[in-house]
Amino acid sequence: MATFDTITIKKPDDWHVHLRDGAMLSATAPLTARQFARAIIMPNLADPVTTAAAGADYRSRVIAAAGDVGEGAGFTPLMTCYLTDNTDVADLRQGFTDGVFTAAKLYPAGATTNSDHGVTDIGNITAVLDAMQDMGMPLLVHGEVTDADIDVFDREAVFIDRVLSPMLDRFPALKVVFEHITTSDAAAFVRAGGPRLGATITVHHLMINRTDMFRGGIRPHLYCLPVAKREAHRLALLEAATSGEACFFLGTDSAPHDARDKEAACGCAGVFSAPTALELYTQVFDEQGALDQLQAFASENGPRFYGLAENEATVTLNRVPSDIPTHIDVADGRVIPFMAGEKTAWTLT
């Protein structure tokens, strides 16, 4: 157990983030670039990033929006291809070979925000997965079944049995990241899956359970997909993240939506943690007496999985409270961060 008032770690990366496009991108990219050297950028734009050309264009917009920390210097966006039933295998291969795409994202059709163009049946992307396995290109998975008759709290666990496990058997060398895991089932499955299987864990799933979503009334800014589960699952995620095990790494899944789209009769899924994500992860590790494992989770396990070098720069955090903004203005609206108006116990210098 380690306790410090200040901690310096190799600069972390965010292995799963939604930055969006246009005015929203201008607001979000600097927030992520402030804390992370690299980030895996999700491709579920309103017009999804399904081709290498679209990926290269989007990367340019992200770099421009991140500000003066240009690619290679301070912030490097790592782009992902949104898989569809009709993904062009040759284009995907070229995109990976040319370094436009780092990975490809599997959204089961209808699973979440902008997933309507997603994959309707894994059988439709057999050739894509063959090529990815062949190239060593990681597959990033939104791991929830979409069947209307499966309880929303069971969708991740059922996905393991019905989709993920058979897929891993069918493609024994495919590198897979089980994104934003929310259950003890997923943590155990990933642990047992060997070095080709990893998982990202968000800070909000480490901090809230499903009861928190209803504390004193319904709290739309805590609603995301996969939805937070019961407390026993949160505790299993805490154990996994702070264990130092190589298969678990940092991915915020920060997913901004205009407040009007969340505070609505049918609100959008997504927790916007980007403004203070690293401070909050540090707080969580501190509360667990596990600050000595923060660097592995935030800065080492991800690059090792992706076969990339660790960052050479470092970041320092102090045990000094900092304010979490009440909102971020975007165009004619606003986005409400995770724990808006509260404090985090740590400050990134």
Using CB under 6 A, list all residues that contact ligand DOR: 18, 44, 112-113, 142, 224-225, 255, 269-270
Question: Quick one: 95 exposed, middle or buried, by C-beta within 10 A (0-12, 13-18, 19+)?
Answer: buried
Give the strand pairing for 314-318 and 6-10.
antiparallel
3 vs 51: CA distance, rounded Å: 47
Shortest spacing between CB 181 and ligand DOR, in angstroms: 12
How far is the C-alpha of 156 from the C-alpha of 41, rounded, in Å?
A: 22
Q: How far is the CB of 256 from ligand DOR (least distance, A)?
A: 8
Q: For Zn ion, which stretch binds (CB under 5 A), given 2-10, 160-168, 250-258, 309-317? A: 250-258
Q: Are 238 and 206 in contact (CB under 8 A)?
A: yes
User: Minimum distance from CB of 176 to ligand DOR (Å)?
Assistant: 16
Catalytic residue among 13, 14, 253, 286: 253
Q: In the complex, what is the shortest distance from the CB of residue 73 to Zn ion, in angstroms, rounded to a whole number?
A: 26
DSSP sequence for 267-282: PPP----GGGHHHHHH
Scored b (16 or more CB within 10 A) or e, 109-128 reads eebbbbbebbbeebeebeeb
Separation of alpha carbons 94 and 114, rounded Å: 25
Rounded Cα–Cα distance for residues 297 and 15 (Å):
11
User: Residue 201 Cβ, how far from Zn ion at the closest point, in Å?
Assistant: 12
Smallest gap, in angstroms, from Cβ of residue 42 to ligand DOR?
6
Alpha carbon distance 343, 252 (integer Å): 18
Based on the residue annotation, tell me whether 68 is a catalytic residue of this protein: no
Residue 101 dihedral angles phi and psi, to the nearest 5°: -105, 135
253 binds Zn ion (CB under 5 A): yes
| Residue 59 partner contact from ligand DOR, Zn ion, none using kind-dependent CB cut-offs of 5 to 8 Å | none
- Of the pair 76, 112, the CB lying nearest ligand DOR is at 112
DSSP character string of 178-205: E-S--SHHHHHHHHTT-TTEEEEE-HHH
Q: Which is nearer to ligand DOR, 40 or 317 (CB)?
A: 40
Find the Cα–Cα–Cα–Cα dihedral 116, 122, 128, 133, rounded to 10°: 130
Tell me the catalytic residues.
253
Return residues touching Zn ion (CB under 5 A).
Answer: 253
